[in-house]
Structure 1
Amino acid sequence: MSDHKALLEVGIEELPSSEVQGIKTQLKERIERSLDNNRLGYGELEVFVASRRFGVLIHGIELKQSDFVEKKKGPSEKIAYKEGEPTRALLGFLRGSNAQIEDVSVEDGYVYVQREIIGKMAEELLPQIFSESLNSLDFKKPMRWGDGTYRFVRPVKWITAMLDTEILDMELFGKRSSNKSRGHRFFFDEVEVSPENYFQNMRDALVIARESDREERTLSEIRRIESDIHSQIPVDEGLLAEVVSLTEYPTAVLGNFMEKYLSLPPEVIIVTIKHHQRTFPVYKEGKLTNNFVAFQDGP
């Protein structure tokens, strides 16, 4: 397998968590289909989504599409030749197929032309594959911005598109592709990346681009607070997924509310804490306490 890699990253304004799953599924599906249709070999496709970016890292991509032998069926032999000479029907077929008379063969009473089509280079194909895949994404609530020319999930801030160390020549939503991404919005500006070091360079700039890594960090932050205050924080899967999709560098913060509110039914407190505040209730020895765990984005 090839050890070449390609990277596409789209920087956007905050992504609603309701769009995350759709983007992941569609982007993988569309890029895989386009790579297959373009006969461009690859190993693994890794889609990533964070609150202000999404994209794909293609591992093991071939640098050239495979060569292809094209065989085209033409008119019947009776129509193609008259007294052994090529007819206008055959000459028209050859012109349309960009072929010569010596390329013709006859099988089962029909004429065929066969020619080898040499594969194009990946750097030429990828900008088109990426652009078409992004333009074909469907969203629950797309936005228009600028003078209304562009329509996408949220306004696009930058595009990073690379094949190994080379920048791919591509323009989309009025943004030219480069080898620059952006780190965490409160702490970093531009960050130079490549497909080889993308995830590490982003992490150094306080952006955990892989969802699985953000989930791992969120859970370890919850465990850190559990052990600090000797209590239990049950993990609600839906809330966990929301925190993971709404952050780039999730950090837990312990908060509390007035103790007098503990006289309310636990269900009222839990609904308020989880659904309205997107925070995790804290228990001690099975009883609800007046603590909660919230997540901020950043260290």
Structure 2
Amino acid sequence: MPDLLLELFSEEIPARMQAKAADDLKKMITDALVERGVVYEGASAYATPRRLALTVHGLPARQPDTREERKGPRVSAPEGAIQGFLKSAGLASLDQARIESDPKKGEFYVAVVEKPGRVLPALIAEIVPEVIRTFPWPKSMRWGSGSLRWVRPLHSIICTFGPETEDPEVVPFEIEGVSVGDVTRGHRFLAPGAIRVKRFDDYVAKLEAAKVVLDPARRRDIILADARNLAFAQGLELVEDDTVLHEAAGLVEWPVVLMGSFDESFLAVPDEAIQATIRANQKCFVVRDPKTGRLANRFILIANIEARDGGAAIVGGNERVIRARLSDAKFFWETDQKPLPGYEDQGKPLDQRLAKIIASNVVFHAKLGTQGERIERIAKLAEAIAPVVGADPVKAARAAQLAKADLASEMVGEFPELQGLMGRYYATAQGEDPAIAAAVEDHWRPKGVNDAVPSDPVAVAVALADKLDTLIGFWSIDEKPTGTKDPFALRRAALGVIRIILDNGLRLPLLATIARASFASTDRVAGNLLDFFADRLKVQLRDQGARHDLVDAVFSLGGQDDLLMVVRRVEALGRFLGTDDGKALLAGTKRAANILRIEEKKDGAGAYAGGADTGLLTEAEEKALYAALQSAKQSAAAAVAAEDYERAMTALAQLRQPVDAFFDKILVNAEDARLRLNRLKLLEEIRTATRSVADFSRIEG
């Protein structure tokens, strides 16, 4: 079957845009083919700094024929309607239509429109220009006198189509004077000549011979392997960095790995600051000395050329830039540890930075006050949370006071990604307790789904206080996330609180903690905020394979603000519902709830409270259910009070057989009104018994 090869050759495409551009090209072309009824076996897209390439294989030679019946007007319709029908259906006369009858609408015309499929090259010649003109680049440019826009000037297009057994044909089309053919070019410097290609395999092989590695994944593999080997040859270890790896692979077509060095005096700067400097300015890797665990005064860069001098000039240029940037970093590092002019009487250097933040009245949010006021709130809340999580309240308050101080440092001003980390270094340098210094760094965590959560009690207290203050504050001013919009990252803050609580096994009553926050409106927002935590917890548990309806079933009991116990209850409930007893009891409970819901419309809500009258239990199945309910309720309540949810489920499992027998033998809506009411009260007791664990009516299935 024929294959399509497409290449769009241009000036350099920014590395950050390449992966999405390749995906977009593949989707737009294949979607357009499918819309025209064309199926294919597979498609792959690739990107280098100067080209987007796509191969679609297993295509048919032509589009399938189509046959469509088009209903027309009534036979008695006006002439204008009939002529319009003939024109739209492509018919020369009514002789080409047939007449059908409908009992209600009478006789009407029907046209059978048959369209022969077009050959694939004609379709491709229609699709590709349309895709190019509508391509969704984040930024594009127009050049020359034409109207065509592309990320950078588009030089040429390869578009070939044909089977493996024959030479493919060039699909001809016009687009703003850009040449379309079967010719591309190799590496800009190493092999800039024209290359004539046929199909995809031929294209890849000839590019490789012309010093172009088409597949970005393979370029990454080459870079990583060569960088590891080069570091190993020097007795060092590569510090792997996905950000640098992907960026470098997007900057070169023929990766060449080289090593440079910098003055050892710069190693006085923290390793993370050195790595951030080298990564941000030169997109280079750093290396580690395995003997010390510290960075070595070497770096690895990725060139796009095999230089005649072995790369000496390239390395030298990078070394000059890195030397200047590390000089800046060293200056910032040393400056941050000196007394801050005008704040010398405010204590240690980090305290002086804190004093500067407070004095500058930097606004955190127009409705939530300044950063200084926020720091004070976090410190008070951390102090209150500390005993609950096993932390020293004094240390927690001190760590919270210093946690944001490094935001006023020179180093964090230059490298915002180092916030917290530099605070730990500065706190350690000024002699703070190790737990306080660690909390200054860790209170930002978790920064993402793969980031570790803080585990030291002081860090836990500060991290929770920081995130809860943010959530409570924005809820109090009604600035909640809406749809996909979450400008203040409140969903991430809530998930952070959940992960810290669950990963550390903490018993933190959220409602009581919210009440301690420094906002007068916390009583109003507490319920809504707890619902938000329930939604985020559902997301968290769903990712772990748990059912969201079980979370609803537990939260609907009300007052369930101990997330650790909620999760344990959900887990026990999930295991119970996986058993035959659990499934049967769920079905019986739902049946009882449905009957109660219907009958309450007649008798009113609360009509069945108070428990069944034993004197009106006339049948053996009623008596057995009543006895089982009293035993199960007592046992389940005691187990829940002891937070033994497995035992609570075991107690409820005793209800399976008597509930089944009751529904099998007993008519609930008896003619005797007293018996009917008493039996409905018995059903209410089933609902009450199960609600000691969860609201079974919220459970699906």
Normalising by the residue count of structure 1, what TM-score does the alignment of the two structures yield? 0.91
Q: Which one has the bigger helix percentage?
A: 2
Distance in 1, matches of 2:19 and 2:210, equals: 25
Q: Which one has the bigger strand percentage?
A: 1
**Stretch moving more, 96-105 or 136-145:** 96-105
Structure 1 counterpart of 2:87, from 95, 118, 129: 95
Question: Which residue of structure 2 aligns with residue 137 of structure 1?
Answer: 135
The answer to whether structure 1 residue 212 and structure 2 residue 217 are counterparts is yes
Mapping 1:205-244, distance limit 5 Å: 205-244=210-249
In structure 2, the residue corresponding to 1:138 is in which secondary structure?
Answer: coil
Give the superposition deviation at 1:207: 0.6
Give the superposition deviation at 1:38: 1.7
Runs (4+) of structure 1 moved beyond 6 Å?
none
Question: Which residue of structure 2 aligns with residue 245 of structure 1?
Answer: 250
Change (3 A) 1:66 1:148: closer
Distance in 1, matches of 2:272 and 2:222, equals: 28
Distance in 2, matches of 1:97 and 1:241, equals: 54
The answer to whether structure 1 residue 259 and structure 2 residue 264 are counterparts is yes
Kept in 1, the 8 Å contact 2:97–2:109? The answer is no
Give the superposition deviation at 1:137: 1.0
Distance in 1, matches of 2:267 and 2:101, equals: 86
Give the superposition deviation at 1:198: 1.2
Structure 2 counterpart of 1:198, from 187, 195, 203: 203
Kept in 2, the 8 Å contact 1:183–1:190? The answer is yes
Question: Which residue of structure 2 aligns with residue 295 of structure 1?
Answer: 302
Which AA in structure 2 matches 1:183? G
Kept in 2, the 8 Å contact 1:9–1:159? The answer is yes
Distance in 2, matches of 1:212 and 1:59, equals: 20
Distance in 2, matches of 1:14 and 1:88, equals: 58
Distance in 2, matches of 1:40 and 1:129, equals: 12
Distance in 2, matches of 1:159 and 1:178, equals: 6
Give the superposition deviation at 1:95: 3.5
Distance in 2, matches of 1:92 and 1:175, equals: 41
* Structure 2 portions without partners, runs of 5+: 163-167, 307-701
Kept in 1, the 8 Å contact 2:25–2:45? The answer is yes
**Stretch moving more, 17-26 or 132-141:** 17-26
Mapping 1:61-72, distance limit 5 Å: 61-72=59-70
The answer to whether structure 1 residue 43 and structure 2 residue 41 are counterparts is yes
Change (3 A) 1:102 1:243: same
Question: Which residue of structure 1 aligns with residue 179 of structure 2?
Answer: 176
Structure 2 counterpart of 1:275, from 274, 280, 296: 280
Distance in 1, matches of 2:60 and 2:48, equals: 28
Distance in 1, matches of 2:101 and 2:26, equals: 41
RMSD between aligned alpha carbons? 1.8
Deviations 1:143-194 (A, max 9, x none): 1211363321100121111113211102224212011110001021111112
Distance in 2, matches of 1:75 and 1:167, equals: 46
Give the superposition deviation at 1:226: 2.9
Aligned residues, how many? Answer: 291
Question: Which residue of structure 2 aligns with residue 84 of structure 1?
Answer: none
Change (3 A) 1:91 1:128: closer
Distance in 1, matches of 2:13 and 2:96, equals: 58
% same residue: 27
Distance in 1, matches of 2:276 and 2:101, equals: 74
Kept in 2, the 8 Å contact 1:156–1:173? The answer is no
Which AA in structure 2 matches 1:176? S
Kept in 2, the 8 Å contact 1:255–1:292? The answer is yes
Distance in 2, matches of 1:24 and 1:79, equals: 53
The answer to whether structure 1 residue 106 and structure 2 residue 100 are counterparts is yes
In structure 2, the residue corresponding to 1:79 is in which secondary structure?
Answer: coil
In structure 2, the residue corresponding to 1:158 is in which secondary structure?
Answer: strand
Give the superposition deviation at 1:258: 1.2
Q: Which has the higher contact order (CA 8 A, sep 6+)?
A: 1
Kept in 1, the 8 Å contact 2:271–2:294? The answer is no
Kept in 1, the 8 Å contact 2:133–2:148? The answer is no
Structure 1 counterpart of 2:29, from 31, 51, 76: 31
Kept in 2, the 8 Å contact 1:77–1:106? The answer is no
Mapping 1:120-131, distance limit 5 Å: 120-131=118-129
Which AA in structure 2 matches 1:272? T
Normalising by the residue count of structure 2, what TM-score does the alignment of the two structures yield? 0.40
